[in-house]
Chains A and B, each alone.
Chain A
Amino acid sequence: MNQLLLIGLFWLAVTDSFAADPFTTLMLSPRDNKAHVPAIDLPTLSGEIIDSKDWAGHVVMLNFWATWCGPCKEEMPSMERLYRRLQTKPFKLFAVTADIRRQDIAAFWQHWDLHFPVLLDEDGDFAQKLWVRTLPTTIVIGPDGRIHGRAMGPRDWDSPEAIAFIEQLMEPL
């Protein structure tokens, strides 16, 4: 009986923490919450053009980073795991960089064994439109095309809290 009670309490605690406010658990900035994301089309490292019109109905995560940004690499492995885990879901993950040397970006991707696509924002215009000031910055966009969270600094993106947050955004679909 005591065991059942403990399990019940544990389950309540866990589900409660998952459902907790992501702005607190993931330390997301609410500053531009629900703002519309400007339309863009940017090339990937492989030359494909990504048009933000195709993002409708998806949760989109944009991770702004640079090859010279040490803290950026901290969260890359967790992003890769998140990307693999949600590959079959209406979820898109893009790394966005103002770096211009494609060979350096490719070497970085290979070194860290990363597979999610890189968008080349060579003049930093997309970052500027989204008020990205520091790296890494991650912006989570809901299926409605609006910003639902901004993380400045690295996070553990495949933590239960992060996955719960993203899956919660997918729920209306």
Chain B
Amino acid sequence: MQTQRILSALLALVFLFLLNPDSGKALGENLTRLTPHLGDKRILHHGKNKTSGPAIQIDEQGALHLAWTQDGHDQLNIYYLQSQLTEDGFPKPIQVNPSIQFATSLHEPPALALGPHREVYVLWPAPHPHADGKPFASILNLSRSLDGGRTFLPPTRVNDDEVVTGHSFDHLATAPNGTIHIAWIDAREGKKDPATYTARSLDRGSTITKNLKIDDSTCVCCRTSVATSPDGTVYVTWRKIFPGNVRETVVARSKNGGQSFDPAVIVGHDQWVFAGCPHRPASLGADGQGRLYVSWYTEGPDDTPGVYLATSDDQGLTFTARTMLNTSKGTFPDHPQMAVDDQGRILVIWEEQSPVRREIVMRYSLDRGKTFIAPQKLNIKKAQHPAVAINNQGQAIFAWQEQIAFPNWSTVLQPVSFEEHPAHTATARTP
């Protein structure tokens, strides 16, 4: 009788263990059923033209939107194309910028966002019209397409000052109500360290609201990032300089649709002391339950590079302890980008570098960041500049630059499907 009781208790424990979504085995089973299917890679060749990394989005109908900056020798132009996820070939790209206004640099792609009524928005810094050879002088332009990406209207200027200085390291996101939220780093006050600014457009990019400074002492080269959550909260992240040249990733939130922002909150308390240009933006996402996700690069007090994730369940007031996502030894991780869908499925993609290798790896979580699969390499040849986007229909896309035909760089796109399917071994394939 005693033995029977013990056996019953053990069986019950085993049963509970199998049912518990937190247990490794149950989670493993779930992952097998929902393992994302990596689709065939699609390659966009740019020939000898030098380009920025890709900016991508995927809409709720499953179309991918791709934008990049390309060196046209005389000037830098911004291009855009739209394609179905698994379509053969690519349509001819559209030039976004007018010929008389061009982009400033290739070191980062234009910012790309989609509106709720098939609007396409592209944000890009252009050389300041009165720069007269002065470096670091730019204006910020918003280009918009109101016909589903077929044509782009002349750009709307975002910064509302005339100071011949930098207005760049920009990002944008659209709220569910269609409001466009823009953030950037702005040097208009002429201080040693610039400030973080925001602005909105309430009319699909026709006009821009008065610019709003939300903080000072912004680290000069780390791009801002903006996200909105389904409840309308607006989040902006950037790297802030604290006394002693400590660089911390911070998040500020707006509960009134971007009219004002609460004071910035430190995310990881990294204590990274550095007086230069990290040039590595953080990435933001929010799921349908309002959880905020932040992924970022830092080195910390011991100068060891790491890619981290932290989350907030109180709308950015406090954050969980950071979790390191990179696991490899002998390489250093770089440039993380993240996408999150309504269900809290998280895709993070980043570079892994050593003196002789430059790889693109990704990890994903299907349980709102509780667990992640092991990092999976996506590229074959030398690769850089990763990007990722996800919609709420179980579709996602990874993108990066890869030296497919040395010495030229191509843009590689790899669709991902979260639709349920039989167990599948996800393998990177070249066409």
Contact = CB atoms under 8 A, between A and B. Distances in A.
B334 to A, nearest CB: 7
Contacts of B245: 153
Interface stretch (B30-38, B54-62, B79-87, B274-282): B274-282
Given A111-B135, A128-B355, A131-B355, A71 B279 contact: no
Contacts of A152: 274, 276, 303
B17 interface: no
B135 A136 contact: no
Interface string A48-80: 000000000000000000111111110000000
Contacts of B353: 128
B249 to A, nearest CB: 15
A154 to B, nearest CB: 6
B136 interface: yes
Contacts of B133: 107, 110-111
B106 interface: yes
Given A111-B135, A135-B221, A100 B50 contact: yes
A68 B135 CA distance: 8
A159 interface: no
Contacts of B275: 71, 153-154
Nearest to B358: A128
A133 B305 contact: yes
Interface in A122-173: 122-123, 128-131, 133-137, 152-154
B276 A69 contact: yes
Interface residues of A, number: 33
Interface in B246-305: 274-279, 299, 303, 305
Interface residues of B, number: 34
Given A71-B220, A101-B71, A134 B355 contact: no
B356 interface: yes
A122 B104 CA distance: 17
A92 to B, nearest CB: 22
Contacts of A31: 303
A99 B76 CA distance: 13
Interface string B311-346: 000000000000000000000101000000000000
Contact of A70 (B104, B221, B303): B221
A123 B76 CA distance: 18
B107 interface: yes
Contacts of B220: 69-71
B105 interface: yes
A73 to B, nearest CB: 7
Which of the listed residues A70, A122, A152 has the most CB atoms from chain B within 10 Å of its own CB?
A70
B134 interface: yes
Contacts of B244: none
Given A70-B220, A101-B105, 8 more contacts: A70-B166, A70-B221, A73-B136, A110-B133, A131-B355, A136-B276, A137-B276, A152-B276
Interface of A: 29, 31, 38, 66-73, 99-101, 104, 107-108, 110-111, 122-123, 128-131, 133-137, 152-154
8 contacts: A66-B107, A100-B71, A100-B106, A123-B407, A131-B332, A134-B274, A134-B276, A134-B277
